[in-house]
Amino acid sequence: MTTRYEQVMARKGEIMVRALGMDYAEFERSPIAFDYEGMMGAHGYSLDDIRGIQAAAGVGTTPLLELRNLTDLVRSYAEPGFGARLFVKDEAANMAGSFKDRRASMSIHVAAEKGYAGVIAATSGNYGAAVASQAARAGLKCIICQETFDSRHIGQPEIVEKSRLCEAFGAEVIQMSVGPELFFHMLELLDETGYLSASLYSPFGVSGIETLGAELAEEMTALTGAPPTHVVVTHAGGGNTTGTARGLKRAGATATEIVSASVDLSGLHMASDTDFNRKSFTTGHTGFGVPFATWPDRADVPRNAARSLRYMDRYLTVTQGEVFYVTEALAKLEGLERGPSGNTAIAAAMSLARDLPRDATVVVQETEYTGAGKHHWSQLAFAREQGVEVRAGDPADNVPGTVIVIPERPEQIRAKDFDLSKMHRSYVRNALAHAPEGYEPTPADVVFLAEDSNTSPAIVKEIIAGLKER
């Protein structure tokens, strides 16, 4: 007999069309290509419209802070003439304490405008709190689905903290153990309730982040006379990189280098019950960053609006210990006690700034709130409870899930470049694998793949030829 799981998953397309209020089929151009810009603009909101929506929702126009003490620290061990100025956009000042409020404000606005009674989101991170907060302001019902526990019913403290905050805003939180049932349960609830899917990866959600990039360009120009030379973005599912980069470009900051940053959690599997509680970071890590960059359409929508490879100039990785060190340094030197996600980008930014001239400007584009289970001391205590060794030393000795090594000196913070060419090849390979067997990419497909991977048609053709030889 057909199981309930099979029945619901077989109706995924039908359920999502109703739950998103848009039909993605109209943007399809081939088994490989689709009209990305057409999809992104289909909601009909201009950047000024989005600014107005967010202002009414208490979101955006967050402080831009110069991190003078961290800059001085970096310059103390950089070569003469080096050590770029460091800045941070303090997104913790948003309603629910992160940049995800920008995303959520648009999903909630769309839900209210289209007459949905409530919203549902599948997320274990800050987005759930943001959706719950905005839903409360709009008088909409809200359900948040979370992967919270391993099979021993032990909850990751950061996720448990997010559950508490979602419930504080009046949302119903449905907690699950790690596994494939998260998306199934979300679909089932969408089908039963008729609520809007407040997906992380919808065009209106990702467009909500564009105001962040635009603000960075405008505020840095007012402060320093020019847009930032570099913007460092914590990278997970790709929406942060995509929306920020698009907003920067809209504001004319076309020369700004977009640097994505993730915690290196290589070796840990994000869907593994045994690995679930051996990672100290629930987002902003390579377990999401690499798979979503190399195949964004693994998301809960037919076509993902978050396509980070389109905009990524560099991809830096840092260790868990380096992020914990920088979290403490940010509090002690700048008076900012903030959560782990934005501090991932700050760790990468300190490494980057060390090698840039002093007149360069590096902006970390977000912070997030901290407290309770999100706090770095809670995370380290939990890691020890799970059998992970925590010690001071050389962060190069870090082993995800086994050893967290806290640097002894700031000059030990050294981000590593992830090979973007490998990601480009993986992306093209995945795109071809999802096309019908025997399908030959057309010239238009090649152009799309080049745009989607921020390469060129010549490079895409070379990758395709190499894949055929194997």
The residues that bridge with 419 in the sheet, in sequence order, are none
Nearest to 125 by CA among 141, 153, 102, 144: 144
Q: Is 170 left (phi over 0), alpha (psi -120 to 50) or beta?
A: left
CA distance 136 to 100: 15
Residue 261 corresponds to which tokens in the numbers above?
């940053």
Give, as one character, the DSSP assignment of residue 98. Answer: S
Give the integer Cα–Cα distance in Å for 182 and 145.
7
Band of pLDDT at residue 12, cut at 50, 70 and 90: confident
3-state secondary structure string across 171-195: CEEEEEECCCHHHHHHHHHHHHHCC
Comparing CA positions, the residue from 150, 100, 94, 90 lying closest to residue 121 is: 100
Q: What is the pLDDT of residue 408?
A: 97
Q: Which residues contact 137 (CB under 8 A, 6 or more apart)?
A: 57, 58, 95, 108
**Is 99 in contact with 209 (CB distance < 8 Å)?**
yes
Architecture of the 4-52+98-205 domain? 3-Layer(aba) Sandwich (3.40)
Global pTM exceeds 0.85: yes
Question: Are 4-52+98-205 and 59-97+206-417 equal in CATH topology?
Answer: yes
Burial 172-195 (b: 16+ CB within 10 A, else e): ebbbbbbeeebebbbbbbbbebeb
Q: Contact 446/380 with Cβ under 8 angstroms?
A: no
Lowest mean pLDDT: which of 61-70, 117-126, 178-187, 361-370? 178-187
Q: What's the pLDDT at 354?
A: 98
Q: 248 near 214, Cβ under 8 Å?
A: yes
d(CA 438, CA 449): 18
280 confidence band (pLDDT: 50, 70, 90)? confident
Q: Is the pLDDT of residue 1 over 60?
A: no
CA atoms lying within 13 Å on the CB side of residue 88: 31
Burial (CB count within 10 angstroms: exposed 0-12, middle 13-18, buried 19+), residue 4: exposed
For 427-458, how does the pLDDT look when each residue is reduced to its tens digit (9 = 90+)?
A: 999 999 999 999 999 999 999 999 999 999 99
Q: What is the mean pLDDT of residues 358-373?
A: 94
Domain spans in the chain, listed from the N-terminal domain onward: 4-52+98-205, 59-97+206-417, 431-469
Quote the strand ranges of 116-271, DSSP E. Answer: 118-122, 141-149, 172-177, 196-197, 230-234, 257-263
Topology annotation, domain 59-97+206-417: Rossmann fold (3.40.50)
Write the pLDDT tens digit of every residue in 149-176: 888 999 888 898 889 999 999 999 999 8
Q: How far is CA 171 from CA 87, 143, 183, 351, in A?
A: 34, 6, 18, 40
